[in-house]
Amino acid sequence: MIDGVKRTVRVDLGERSYDILIGRSILSGLGEAFKTLFPSSEAVIITDSNVAGLHLDTAEASLREVGVDPYVIVMEPGEKSKSYKGLMKAADAVLDSKLERGDIVIALGGGVIGDLAGFVAGIVRRGMRFIQVPTTLLSQVDSSVGGKTGINTSHGKNLIGLFNQPHLVLADTAVLDTLTPRDFKAGYAEVAKYGLINDPDFFEWLERHWQGIFDGGPEREEAIARSCQAKADVVAADEKEADQRALLNLGHTFGHALEGMAEYDAERIVHGEGVAIGMVLAHEFSSRLGLCDAAVTDRVVAHLQAVGLPTHIRDIPGQLPKVDLLMDYIAQDKKVSRGNLNFILTRGLGQSFVEKGVEPAAVRAFLEEKLG
C-alpha cells in the first residue's frame, strides 16, 4: 500500500480488523493509504501544537496529493488536553468542520492525542471512523493499538472513555528521531513491558539490542513490530479486557497512581516513567508476597536504569506522595472489581498474571515501606 513499509501487523477482529503499518519515513504515504481505504471521504486531523510544528505539513501535503483538504484541530500538548474541557473543544471543532459521519478523524500525535481523538471519533455523530498516526514510541507500541480511548478525571486516569478500534495505524519510525531523549525513554518502558508480561526471550533480546533501538537502526522496526504483535494477539483474544488483556497493564496500577499524585505534571513524571516505576513496584510487591525471586526484580531494575528510566518513587522530583493519596488512586483503578484490588503480579521473568482480591492492607504496608 505504501512504499517504505517494512513490517505489517494485523489486528484480527473479524469485520473490524485493521493493519499496523511500520516503516521509516512512511508518513508521506498517509494520503495514498487514506484514498485506498476511504476513496470518497473527507478528513479532520486532530493534533497538538508540538506535533503540528514537526509533522503536520507532511501529513497535510500527503492528503492534498490525493485530493483531500483536511480540516485541522490543534490542541494544547500534554495530559491536560485529555480532559472534559479538551474533549468538548475537540468535539465542537469536529462539528464546526461540517464533516459527516462517513468522514474520517485522523489522530496525529502521541498517546494523549490518540486517546482523545479516538474518543471524539467514537461519540461525535454517534461514531466516525478514525486512523491512528502515532508520533511517539509509546503510542506506536501501545496506546494506538487496541481501541482504548478516553480522558482523565480528578478521580484518576482514563476513567471516562470507550473501546473504539481504528481502521488503520500508520507508525513512521523516522518521526521518533524528533523526540526528546526523555520521551523516547518513556516510550521504551512500554516496549520492555511486553517482555516482562510473557516473553522473556524478547526481554533478553532487548537487553542486548536496546542501543540499536535508540539509534534508529533496524532493531527499532523489529522492537516496534514485536511489541505491536504482542498487543494485537492479546487484543484479538480479549478485546474488552474481560480477562487476559488486563496483563497489558503491568505496572500501570502503581504508575497511574503516581501520575495522579503528581496531577499529571509532565515536569515531574510522564506516563512511561510511571510505568517503569510501576513495573519495578509490581515486581518488588510480588517478591514481598513470596511469588517472585528478588533477583528477577534486580534484573528488571538494572535494565531500566541502563536505558535511563526512573525505577523508584524517590526518583520523582518534588515532595513524596502520602500513602493515603496513592491508595485513593489505586482504589479507582479500572481493574478494581466490587471493591477488590486486582494487580498484575509476576512469578518470574516474563511470568505475569492477574492476581484478584489483593488485600489493601498489604498494599498499604508495602507502599509505607517504599516511602519510609
Known binding-site residue numbers for Zn(2+): 190, 252, 271
pLDDT at 332 > cutoff 90 = no
Q: Comparing C-alpha atoms, which of 66, 55, 242, 68 is closest to residue 139? A: 55
Active-site residues, by number, are 126, 148, 190, 231, 241, 245, 249, 252, 256, 271
pLDDT at 242 > cutoff 80 = no
Give the whole-angstrom CA distance, residue 296 versus residue 120: 41
Q: Above pLDDT 70, what percent of the chain? A: 98
pLDDT at 334 > cutoff 70 = no
Residue 241 confidence (pLDDT): 73
Mean pLDDT (whole number) for 241-250 = 83
pLDDT at 335 > cutoff 60 = no
Mean pLDDT (whole number) for 197-212 = 98
Mean pLDDT (whole number) for 34-50 = 97
CA neighbours closer than 13 Å in the CB half-sphere of residue 26: 24
Domains assigned to the chain: 5-178 (3.40.50.1970), 182-371 (1.20.1090.10)
pLDDT at 71 > cutoff 70 = yes
Give the whole-angstrom CA distance, residue 118 versus residue 166: 8
pLDDT tens string 138-156: 999 999 999 999 999 988 8
Residue 106's beta-bridge partner residues?
45, 131
Known binding-site residue numbers: 111-115, 135-136, 148, 157, 190, 252, 271
44-80: string of b/e by CB count within 10 Å (b at 16+)? Answer: bbbbbebbbeebbebbbebbeeeebebbbbbbebbbb
pLDDT tens string 276-305: 999 999 999 999 999 999 999 999 999 999
Q: What is the mean pLDDT of the chain?
A: 94
Residue 337 confidence (pLDDT): 59
Mean pLDDT (whole number) for 100-106 = 97
Mention every residue, 6+ apart, whose C-beta is less than 8 A from residue 79: 112, 152, 259, 264, 266, 271
Known binding-site residue numbers for NAD(+): 111-115, 135-136, 148, 157
Mean pLDDT (whole number) for 51-65 = 98
Provide the whole-model pTM.
0.92
